[in-house]
Amino acid sequence: MAALAFTPNTEQAVALASTAHRLLVRAKAGTGKTALLIEHARRKPQLKLLYVTFGKANQEDAAARFPSNVATKTSHGLAWEVGGQFKKTGKQGELFPSQLAKAYNIPMAFARHLRETLHNFMVSADNEILASHVPSMISAADKPKVVEWAVLVWSDLQRLRQWSRGCGESQAQRAEFLDTTPLRMPHDGYLKLWAMSEPDLSHRYDEILLDEYQDTNPVFAAVILRQTCPVRLAGDDFQSIFGFRGAFNAFDPAQFDEVVTISESHRFGPAIAQLATMLLSEFAGEQEPVRSSRLDLATRFEVDRTKPYAIIGRTNARLFASAVALLGTKRLHFVGGIDEYPFEKLVEVHHLRANTGAQLRDPLISAFASFAQLEAYAQDTDDKEIHSLISVAKQYGDQIPSLVSQIKAASVSKIEDADVALLTAHRSKGLEFPQLVLLGDFHNLITDGGLPLVLDTPELRQELHLLYVALTRAMSAIELNEQILAIVRYCETAGRVGTAALAASNSTKQGGGAALVVEGEPEGAFAAVEYGVGAFANVAELVGSDAALLFDGDELESRIELAILRQGLLTAAGLADALGGSVAEVADAVATMVHCGRLSAVLFLDCEAVTQRLVNNIQLDAA
């Protein structure tokens, strides 16, 4: 394809001019990381380059954008020379705890811990299974036994290939094992085997380009650092959000000959840039601010719901609740495809809970004879996805199958045909939206005491990154969640927030009336959404933190929505009686929800307590 004109800014020019053998480009959100790598490749037509990214869709997208002297691969694509050996025997696939339980006649909870131990080993740079790979909830005294089991399973996983001479068993023994075992070699397993062979990519390529380096796990990072050819990495440490894959910033700047920082974003205006700077400086100590090249782009802190907009949540549980609330009013699109969201699993959890006798197909859920067993498993293993599904199944009860069917019926496959796009923060990488609503199920970074939370674990730092990623998907209009607003209020009190960002705090005190920041650029439809490398990471099983997060920050409002949906309650008195609150408190909450567009005023025309508050609000707005 014809190359688009690329005019580098000062920071990008420094990166393009670098002759460092190992170059690390630290680029903030919306600064054009991938475009920079494409331009670098275009300027080196005489060299054979390897570009590596995560996810097949990303690789295919890159193949259409890079010049012909570049081979585009995923890490697993590079390792397929090993993975294909397991494909030939039909034994390449996901490894579930239920398979381990069946193969070795062990309890499901222990099988889950065993699977996690194997996963931790597979994504690590270690060549043997260690006690450090065993989940932390296992006592130190029991870890050696888990390691012994994991070594046994790892050995059996390697037997899932075709028999060969010198493999230590007869051809008949191997054939019998392959015929009877339920085990499968997962993608990370064959990647581990390939990495342990210490592959030399330098004899095939003159230079290696690695995009989104922050999402690289240690096993592949070690492969990259072993290469003798020049390597050029681009990414953003603060967009590291795939820690569940072992990706916790596996690269150290000290490992590179030169580090270049690019901080000027082309996606959004100064207000969002200041909010992003506020997040990173306050919670990560980042000294380099996020800057905007679009100084004339005003940000509106209100979404026009008569035009297409996107909703980003932390968890699939909250996205489900949002989709239910939109039924009958909007055409929906789930980014990545609705089948990549665990709604079918939710239906199966419901069937197990209600004991309907329906056939269960999910490998994990079908392994349990009762809902009580599933709950016990979730408790024993701290399986956050199952915790979340159980919570939602209890919340919506017998309506689950019908609601899932209605959501599917309301969903369209193409984003340009939708009124509302829904996605998790994990899926939002590489995307941008003219209009964006942030849900309130992200981690609270301001404590109940009004002070910033100390992010002293990798998991907590990833919660900051998720909030930063979600915020920086917006282009011109955004409705902030309570998590960001709480940070703005704290920083405003401390005098550590820019004047443009202060509009976010002030504007959200208003409801769904006039524009909150005047003369922002007009929003386009969803055809304006740009998909870039990183947008289609296959995180099919993501639910995120425990479903209790579903109600963080706006518990009463969420309970009101559910009471309306499930019981048809349309008066403050009826809602108060059902929810256990005062009529005044519920009426205030409903009026606020109507004012900000979360509920329709038509629903409460017969409720004097709500209508009186709405009239008062109109009078205050007019004043």
- Tokens 């439809």 appear where? 525
Mean pLDDT of 493-499: 71
pTM for the whole thing? Answer: 0.78
* pLDDT for the residue numbered 551: 32
* High-pLDDT (> 70) share of the chain, %: 88
**CA-to-CA separations, 53 to 71, 417, 506, in angstroms, rounded:** 11, 29, 41
Residues 6+ apart with CB under 8 A from 405: none
pLDDT level of residue 419 (50, 70, 90 thresholds): very high
Residues 487 and 552 in one domain: no
As annotated, the binding site includes 27-34
Residue 132 domain flag: no
Residue 484 domain flag: yes
What is the DSSP code (8-state) at residue 355? T
Residues 204 and 70 in one domain: yes
Residue 139 domain flag: no
Chain-centroid distance of CA 271 in Å reads: 24
Residue 178 domain flag: no
As annotated, the binding site for ATP includes 27-34
Residue 520 domain flag: no
Residue 94 domain flag: no
The last residue of a domain, from among 488, 508, 528 = 508
Question: In the predicted model, is pLDDT for residue 512 greater than 80?
Answer: no
Mean pLDDT of 520-527: 39
Residues 543 and 504 in one domain: no
* pLDDT for the residue numbered 405: 96
Domain count, the chain: 3
Range name among 351-360, 535-544, 561-570, 612-621 with the lowest pLDDT average: 535-544
Residues 458 and 545 in one domain: no
- Model confidence pLDDT, tens digit, residues 295-353: 999 999 999 999 999 999 999 999 999 999 999 999 999 999 999 999 999 999 999 99
The last residue of a domain, from among 493, 508, 523 = 508
Residues 243 and 337 in one domain: no
pLDDT level of residue 251 (50, 70, 90 thresholds): very high
pLDDT level of residue 598 (50, 70, 90 thresholds): confident
Read off the CATH number of the domain in which 229 is found: 3.40.50.300
3-state secondary structure of 236: coil
Question: In the predicted model, is pLDDT for residue 373 greater than 70?
Answer: yes
Question: In the predicted model, is pLDDT for residue 583 greater than 90?
Answer: no
Residues 463 and 548 in one domain: no
Q: Which domain covers residue 380, as residue numbers?
A: 295-508
Question: In the predicted model, is pLDDT for residue 506 greater than 80?
Answer: no
Mean pLDDT of 452-471: 95
Residues 373 and 492 in one domain: yes
- Model confidence pLDDT, tens digit, residues 160-188: 999 998 899 999 999 999 999 999 999 99
Residues 461 and 609 in one domain: no
Residue 250 domain flag: yes
Residues 452 and 324 in one domain: yes
What is the bridge-based pairing of β-strands 420-424 and 309-313? Answer: parallel
Per the DSSP assignment, residues forming a β-bridge with 291 are 264
- Cα angle: 214, vertex 216, 217; to 5 degrees: 125
* pLDDT for the residue numbered 590: 87
Residues 223 and 303 in one domain: no
The structure tokens listed for 538 are 């296959």
Residue 289 domain flag: no
* pLDDT for the residue numbered 548: 32
pLDDT level of residue 545 (50, 70, 90 thresholds): very low
Residues 233 and 332 in one domain: no
Residues 487 and 607 in one domain: no
